[in-house]
């Protein structure tokens, strides 16, 4: 049906049809229970996201935010903490009336994760909220807790019956934060445990990169246009570079980070998900399972070069300078063991065993204390097979590139050759830019805002499935094994990683982009 006719039909009037996708969907009445609500994630992301959703009118009137943590707080004390978090970190402007409506719906239950009585109290509170706040037995449990605590909390949810879909027809969902396990075996154990307590469609594994606007735009760019797809393959693409660079160090997360390292922290999830979206085939429909199935095929097709010494580099930052300030090396960071060999930088070359991508290297890199915060996907095209110009006129001509900037300055840049004005035929690279901030007046929702709303709506499209998680660990495990017992290469804070990462590409006649 063409667009004109569809617009003429009365049932497409957004005011009449609640199923119209242009109308924002609002979840059913429900509670969001956050375990570990005193942690950084809750303070900086989850509570502000709840406020932003309320501010945008996207929460049901009958909504309760229920915090659970080991603090001697009453509801009032938690309200104050939540208010400060929302004021400090929310994206949308502060509106007292929105907050006033929310505070009646913010509750707190104190307790430790292994405290049966506290969980019994939580279950009782949820029961009371059904009557007092009309939540109809719907609840999502957000596990913002250290991975070692996942099993403990899950068992409590099972023991108290809170994990079971409510007798009255209310739904129960669980949200698990990454890392999903530490390796393939532990992720399988965790998946088995979660699937034992909740049914698969009620499990939401958060990879917040999938909630970022530009990451979703990658699908629009590829599948809503005719321009890119025909050249999106080994015939035209020389290589793909995916970079997630951060200027921050490990901040106050030594206890977590030193056990984890860059490969497990972000390569296993954010970067492999970006790779999957870049390389996947068109899904048969835009539904959670169709998209996840296509991503899974990519993840399963990933190949690691036989000689990992030629294809994998890890590094650790040493003391250096960033933005004019002297910053500590990793080993001087608070609570990091003096002998630690944990990597803060990782770069790998992966292949894909598919007809579309055979022979195209996918270079992935991530690091802390790099010169700037930037995440991008760069598709680097092959050079023209023949240049009918005088050789010296094309010395400055590089590869055509399509760069999708995930953050900051969200947008897309196309790099191609252009004639330099003048009487010679000199050709040089130029860039054509699309910037979200210039084209659209609306600002993008925060990733957590989008993902929390999707959990409450029960839309799993942007959440990796357990088979994707396991396929990703199959890529990471051999790397970790290869690195075991080795020392990471050093790089100075403020540099783009160790020189060995440059050499890894240099040996194959390529260079990392300088984003
Ligand atoms: C998290 C990692 O998943 O992503 C952190 O655990 C990292 O180490 C963070 O700093 C980066 O997220 P963003 O959205 O700021 O790019």
Residues 73, 115, single domain; the answer is: yes
Identify the residue whose tokens are 């080991």.
70
Least confident of 353-367, 428-442, 461-475, 501-515: 428-442
Q: pLDDT exceeding 70 applies to what percent of the chain?
A: 95
Burial class (CB in 10 A: 0-12, 13-18, 19+), 79: buried
Identify the residue whose tokens are 């070359």.
349
**Residue 17, pLDDT score:** 47
**Residue 10, pLDDT score:** 36
Beta-strand ranges (E) seen in 4-70 are 30-35, 63-69
In a domain, 242, yes or no: yes
Reading the block at residue 383, the tokens are: 């050079």
Catalytic positions are: 270
Is it the case that residue 7 has pLDDT exceeding 80? no
Task: State the Cα–Cα distance between residues 135 and 206, nearest whole angstrom.
Answer: 24
Q: What are phi and psi of 182, to 5 degrees?
A: -115, -20
Residues 117, 34, single domain; the answer is: yes
Which positions ≥6 away from 15 have C-beta within 8 Å?
A: none
**Residue 76, pLDDT score:** 83
Residues 275, 385, single domain; the answer is: yes
DSSP per position, 97-123: HHHHHHHTTEEEEE--TT-HHHHHHHH
Residues 83, 218, single domain; the answer is: no
Is it the case that residue 322 has pLDDT exceeding 50? yes
Model confidence over 481-511: pLDDT tens digits?
999 999 999 999 999 999 999 999 999 999 9
**Residue 24, pLDDT score:** 77
Residues 338, 462, single domain; the answer is: yes
Cis peptide before 314 (omega within 30 of 0): no
Residues 120, 225, single domain; the answer is: no
Domain boundary among 129, 151, 177: 177
Best probe residue, ligand 1, of 243, 266, 271, 472 (max atoms within 8 Å of C-beta): 266
Is it the case that residue 428 has pLDDT exceeding 70? yes
Residues 169, 221, single domain; the answer is: no
Residues 382, 252, single domain; the answer is: yes
Is it the case that residue 373 has pLDDT exceeding 90? yes
Helix (H, G, I), strand (E, B) or coil at 7: helix
**Number of structural domains, the chain?**
2
In a domain, 184, yes or no: no
**Residue 73, pLDDT score:** 85
Over residues 448-457, the mean pLDDT reads: 96
Task: State the Cα–Cα distance between residues 183 and 476, nearest whole angstrom.
Answer: 8
Model confidence over 326-369: pLDDT tens digits?
999 999 999 999 999 999 999 999 999 999 999 999 999 999 99
Measured in Å, residue 444 CA sits from the centre of ligand 1 at: 18
Model confidence over 52-109: pLDDT tens digits?
999 999 999 999 999 999 988 887 888 899 999 999 999 999 999 999 988 889 999 9
In a domain, 187, yes or no: no
Is it the case that residue 12 has pLDDT exceeding 60? no
Residues 440, 385, single domain; the answer is: yes
In a domain, 271, yes or no: yes
Q: What is the CATH number of the domain that holds 237?
A: 3.30.360.10
- Which residue's CA lies nearest to atom 15 of ligand 1? 246
Q: Average pLDDT, whole number, for the chain?
A: 92
Q: What is the CATH number of the domain that holds 90?
A: 3.40.50.720
Measured in Å, residue 446 CA sits from the centre of ligand 1 at: 13
Best probe residue, ligand 1, of 265, 269, 370 (max atoms within 8 Å of C-beta): 265
pLDDT confidence of 20, banded at 50, 70, 90? Answer: low
DSSP per position, 160-224: TTTTSPPTTS--EEEEEESP--SSHHHHHHHHHHHHHHS-GGGEEEE-GGGGSHHHHHHHHHHHS
pLDDT confidence of 134, banded at 50, 70, 90? Answer: confident
Element holding 142 (H helix, E strand): strand 139-143
Q: Count Cβ atoms below 10 Å from residue 75 Cβ, excluding itself.
A: 14
In a domain, 392, yes or no: yes
In a domain, 511, yes or no: no
Measured in Å, residue 503 CA sits from the centre of ligand 1 at: 27
Measured in Å, residue 407 CA sits from the centre of ligand 1 at: 12
Element holding 274 (H helix, E strand): helix 272-279
Model confidence over 139-180: pLDDT tens digits?
999 999 988 899 999 999 999 999 987 667 789 999 999 888
Residues 20, 78, single domain; the answer is: yes
Beta-strand ranges (E) seen in 246-361 are 302-303, 312-318, 320-322, 325-327, 345-352
Over residues 256-272, the mean pLDDT reads: 96
Domain boundary among 154, 177, 200: 177
Best probe residue, ligand 1, of 205, 215, 246 (max atoms within 8 Å of C-beta): 246
In a domain, 190, yes or no: no
Q: What are phi and psi of 465, to 5 degrees?
A: -85, 165
In a domain, 235, yes or no: yes
Q: What are phi and psi of 514, to 5 degrees?
A: -100, 95
Residues 170, 221, single domain; the answer is: no
Partners of residue 380 on adjacent β-strands: 239, 401
Which positions ≥6 away from 48 have C-beta within 8 Å?
A: 85, 86, 88, 89, 90, 91, 446, 448
Model confidence over 176-229: pLDDT tens digits?
998 889 999 999 999 999 999 999 899 999 999 999 988 889 999 999 999 999
- Which residue's CA lies nearest to atom 4 of ligand 1? 266
- Which residue's CA lies nearest to atom 13 of ligand 1? 209
Q: Provide the domain limits for residue 50.
A: 6-177
**Residue 2, pLDDT score:** 39
**Residue 119, pLDDT score:** 97
């Amino acid at each position: 049906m063409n667009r004109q006719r569809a617009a003429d039909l009365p049932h497409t009037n957004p005011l009449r049809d609640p199923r119209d996708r242009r109308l924002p969907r609002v979840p059913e009445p429900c509670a969001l229970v956050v375990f570990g609500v005193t942690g950084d994630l809750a303070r900086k992301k989850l509570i502000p996201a709840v406020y932003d959703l309320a501010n945008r009118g996207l929460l049901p009137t009958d909504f309760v935010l229920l915090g659970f943590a080991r603090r001697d707080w009453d509801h009032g004390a938690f309200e104050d903490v939540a208010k400060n978090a929302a004021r400090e970190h929310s994206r949308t402007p502060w509106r007292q009336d929105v907050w006033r409506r929310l505070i009646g719906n913010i509750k707190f239950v104190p307790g430790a994760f292994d405290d049966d009585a506290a969980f019994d109290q939580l279950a009782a509170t949820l029961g009371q909220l059904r009557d007092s706040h009309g939540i109809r037995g719907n609840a999502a449990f957000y596990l913002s807790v250290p991975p070692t605590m996942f099993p403990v909390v899950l068992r409590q949810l099972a023991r108290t019956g809170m994990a079971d879909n409510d007798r009255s027809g209310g739904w129960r969902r669980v949200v698990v934060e990454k890392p999903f396990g530490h390796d393939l075996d532990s992720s399988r154990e965790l998946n088995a445990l979660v699937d034992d307590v909740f049914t698969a469609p009620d499990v939401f594994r958060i990879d917040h990169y999938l909630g970022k606007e530009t990451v979703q735009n990658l699908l629009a760019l590829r599948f809503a246009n005719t321009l890119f797809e025909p050249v999106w393959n080994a015939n035209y693409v020389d290589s793909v570079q995916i970079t997630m660079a951060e200027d921050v160090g490990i901040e106050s997360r030594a206890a977590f980070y030193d056990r984890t390292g860059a490969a497990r922290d972000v390569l296993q999830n954010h970067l492999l998900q970006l790779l999957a979206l870049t390389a996947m085939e068109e899904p048969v429909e835009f539904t959670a399972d169709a998209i996840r199935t296509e991503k899974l095929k990519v993840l399963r097709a990933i190949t690691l070069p036989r000689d990992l010494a030629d294809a994998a580099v890890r590094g650790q930052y040493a003391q250096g300078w960033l933005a004019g300030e002297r910053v500590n090396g990793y080993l001087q960071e608070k609570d990091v063991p003096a002998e630690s060999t944990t990597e803060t930088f990782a770069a790998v070359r992966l292949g894909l065993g598919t007809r579309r991508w055979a022979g195209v290297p996918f270079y992935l890199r991530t690091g802390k204390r790099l010169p700037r915060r930037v995440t991008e996907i760069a598709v680097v095209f092959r050079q023209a097979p023949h240049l009918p110009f005088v050789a010296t006129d094309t010395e400055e001509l590089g590869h055509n590139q399509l760069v999708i900037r995930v953050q900051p300055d969200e947008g897309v840049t196309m790099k191609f050759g252009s004639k330099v004005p003048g009487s010679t035929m000199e050709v040089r690279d130029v860039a054509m830019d699309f910037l979200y901030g210039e084209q659209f007046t609306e600002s993008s929702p925060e990733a957590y805002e989008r993902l929390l709303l999707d959990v409450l709506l029960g839309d799993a499209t942007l959440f990796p499935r357990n088979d994707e998680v396991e396929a990703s660990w199959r890529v990471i495990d051999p790397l970790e094994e290869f690195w075991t017992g080795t020392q990471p290469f050093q790089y100075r804070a403020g540099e783009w990683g160790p020189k060995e990462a440059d050499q890894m590409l240099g040996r194959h006649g390529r260079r990392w982009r300088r984003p």
